[in-house]
Structure 1
């Protein structure tokens, strides 16, 4: 096995370890997002003092809260767009470097 492959496998093992470790340390913990955590803390400190600044656009359009599945779908779409932009940027940088070195060799 090549040296580079060993490092890749070692890095993957480390990432898996970092993901599994919190689950092994505290299996009964609730791992939830931070979307509403701030408002919950403010409500605990001073009852009724938290007032949202705005209502989400889609929530106003349909007149009620979005179902959890729709929120997850929109979050995944947003993530996909972000990953696409990053992948395009990295691909562009790699291709620019690759093709600029080839054009210098031809000269």
Structure 2
């Protein structure tokens, strides 16, 4: 097995472990809601400290349900990943094109000059 393949498999296992182990071992505070976000935790902490607190402003759009909110968040993450993948793919393609152009230029240069010791 190649070294890069081994490294990629180890990284994949590490990511899977980071995703599964906290759920399997019951780590974290899951008393109130099993998958409560940081916003809900902050809201709870603020209302405990100051029950009369009023937010400075309200959201521009409030999704009708948590499922729609999650779907919008996932769409935002997918769009960001797509933009990053496009950028890195574009950079790699340009680099490979430059390397090919350099290789062709060197090959053409070799063909036009006489071989050493042939004259």
Question: TM class, shorter-chain normalised?
Answer: 0.7 to 0.9
Residue equivalent to 2:13? 13
CA RMSD of aligned residues (A): 2.1
Residue equivalent to 1:54? 57
Give the drift of 1:97: 1.0
Long gaps (5+) in structure 1: 60-64
Pick which of 30-39 and 94-103 moved more: 30-39
Pick which of 79-88 and 16-25 moved more: 16-25
| CA deviation map 1:56-79 (0-9, x unaligned) | 2234xxxxx522222122112211
Residue equivalent to 1:38? 42
Long gaps (5+) in structure 2: 106-119
Counting matched residue pairs gives 101
| CA deviation map 1:33-83 (0-9, x unaligned) | 11232222111112112x223222234xxxxx5222221221122112111
Give the drift of 1:99: 0.8
2:85 is aligned with 1:87: yes
TM-score, structure 1 normalization: 0.78
| CA deviation map 1:13-45 (0-9, x unaligned) | 222222222123326833421123222211111
What is the CA–CA distance in structure 1 between the aligned matches of 2:65 and 2:15, rounded to whole Å? 32
Bigger Rg, structure 1 or 2: 2
